A and B are shown apart, each in its own frame.
Chain A
Amino acid sequence: MTSSSEQRPPLSGIARVMSRVSTAALWIAGVGLVLMTAFVAWQVFGRYVLNRSPSWTEQGSVMLMSWFIFLGAAVGVRENYHLGFDVLLYVLPKGGKRWLRMISDLVALAFGIGMIWYGSQLVALTWGATLPSLGISGGWDYVPLVAGGALIVLFTLERIVLRLSGAPIDDALDELPPAEVAAELDTANVKV
């Protein structure tokens, strides 16, 4: 907590790299959403205009959806927009809040590790199968789970390390609107 304005805050390099990773994940997820729209539109177009339903669009768009859910969810861990019950956080003093947030981050970290570990097992188990409509290995179904887990682990570790180093990451959170509404408020273009 001793950083002055001239001094670079400790570990700012980590935060900068993570911020790039998170922006990249958000953009990839956004492209995924646009592609998904295109796939389903192509399916409708194929059925009514070309008289031939493409067989790959359903499975392809569902797989894109897994990618953007897991990437977007990982970004959500970093930007703290996941929905939660924050009444206790609201009434507790600062020190207590810090501990509760630490526990939540550790819980998310543990689940992220589980996603990598068991997700990889699922990839290995299904690698021999082939997805009929896409012609690729069935293991690809579980790759987004592993990738999302890896990002969740990275982002929770970042928060834990920054918090332990004394960076005031929780103070910023206290001034934000409730996490779940931030994204929608952004859409409504409202500054709180």
Chain B
Amino acid sequence: MELWILFGVFTVLMLIGTPIAFCLGVASFATVLYMGLPPLIVFQRLNSGMSVFSLLAIPFFIYAGDLMVRGGIASKIVAFAGSLVGHMRGGLGQVNIATATLFGGISGSAVAEAAAVGGLMIPQMKARGYGADYAVNVTSMAALIALLLPPSHNMIIYSISAGGKISIADLFTAGIIPGLLLALALMITAYFVARSRGYPTEPFPGFAAVAHLFAVAVPGLLLIAIIFGGVRSGVFTATESSCIAVIYALLVTVLVYRQMTWEGFVHATHGAVRTTAMVLLIIGMAAAFSWLMAFLKVPAALIASMNAISEDPLVVLLLLNLLMLFLGTFMDMGPTIIICTPIFLPVAQAYGVDPVHFGVIMILNFGIGLNTPPVGAVQFVACAVGKISVWEAMRSIWPFYGAGIVVLGLVTYIPAISLWLPSVFK
């Protein structure tokens, strides 16, 4: 009965359109009242769920991303990526994916990336005769690369939800090859779709131009090395590196590029406050919700029911993947990770899956969910930038979903794709 109240109140409120944060909070509150526990506990969990030092990385990385967009770092990276891959078939689509890969290594947020790269690329692509649906789908799928490449703040959320015992440096490292694999799969897909639609290529600007554009983009690209090198070597914690990213982005945009204005700074700051307050409130509420689920022994029940279905880890992983893809379609990433990690991770571990490997699988699953209606933040952003409806985008997104699912299958069933690189650093 308690579980019916918890999930029932949540589902009904969500269907009504109540903000997810309040759905989670009120469902937990109602359940606690029904069970006769002190309601204080919900608010105490909400507060303690947010008051975690590692969570500071989320506002910092989002803030750094906003500053980089406002201050011209993003557009320099687009120019550099354009000179590298623009001459391939469907050139601007390839540029879009290459930019997403480079920028994703800096901002780590898929939504911010869809807004940043899409804001720069989609209008250009439409002007050059690419279909708006193609531009939108390439942008929204390429934005998922950011989730896998360091610094992915979702990996930090995963590490916290797993009780903080999984090394963030290992998670960051484990995501690199899957991220590059996704980039490759998307570039191949974008190539074939562009060829069948007869999209143009851009002329190759020559090596001198590439070198020049690279030199201009270097201050921005250096950030990748600073963040990854700092965390990997243990010089900074992940949280500290995110703070360094903010300061570095400010220094580069103010002193080197000189494109940051006071208005730009205020806008970036307020934008970061709005985005992170929304994300972190949901995370706090999800912490209360997830505590109740553990209290009601949901994880144990799930392991038991999985056991009843199959003993084979491959089948269980497939089931977990399908379940996560389904959940990902109507929930946003942060809260889904917080709610699902304590439930699914013990199941996966019971079947011998490495927690770092499982983190990569989970993030890729929920990432694809960011690109599916009804709740797909990345897809919404890309569609809004491209000025088309979600349904128009859905009509031609299937090859790109296909690429995502193939990568998901490879990452799920070949653990070495995720686990080899971290083992090199040990």
B39 at the A/B interface (Cβ < 8 Å)? yes
Is the CB–CB distance between A75 and B381 below 8 Å? no
A163 at the A/B interface (Cβ < 8 Å)? no
**A111 to B52 CA separation, bound complex (whole angstroms):** 22
A184-B43 in contact given A72-B273, A100-B16 (Cβ < 8 Å): no
Is the CB–CB distance between B17 and A29 below 8 Å? no
Interface size on A, residues (CB 8 A): 66
Tell me the minimal C-beta distance from B266 to chain A in angstroms: 7
**A48 to B331 CA separation, bound complex (whole angstroms):** 41
Stretch at the interface among B155-163, B176-184, B217-225, B240-248: B240-248
Is the CB–CB distance between B111 and A181 below 8 Å? yes
Is the CB–CB distance between A26 and B374 below 8 Å? no
Q: Helix, strand, loop or mixed for chain B's interface? A: helix
Is the CB–CB distance between A188 and B119 below 8 Å? yes
Choose from B16, B20, B51 the contact partner of A83 (Cβ within 8 Å). B20
Is the CB–CB distance between A26 and B270 below 8 Å? yes
Closest to A40 in B: B243
A34 at the A/B interface (Cβ < 8 Å)? yes
Is the CB–CB distance between A104 and B39 below 8 Å? no
Is the CB–CB distance between A188 and B118 below 8 Å? yes
Choose from A81, A180, A192 the contact partner of B387 (Cβ within 8 Å). A192
**A100 to B19 CA separation, bound complex (whole angstroms):** 12
Q: List 9 A-B contacts (CB under 8 A).
A: A30-B266, A62-B53, A65-B280, A73-B21, A82-B20, A111-B25, A142-B47, A178-B384, A184-B112
Question: Which residues of B are interface residues toward A (Cβ below 8 A)?
Answer: 13-22, 25-26, 29, 39-40, 42-44, 46-47, 50-53, 55-56, 59-60, 63, 65-66, 69-70, 111-112, 114-116, 118-119, 236, 239-240, 243-244, 246-247, 266-278, 280-282, 284, 330, 332, 373-375, 377, 380-381, 384-385, 387
Q: A103-B16, A177-B380, A187-B65 are in contact. List 7 more A-B contacts (CB 8 A).
A: A40-B56, A84-B17, A85-B17, A89-B17, A122-B43, A145-B47, A183-B271
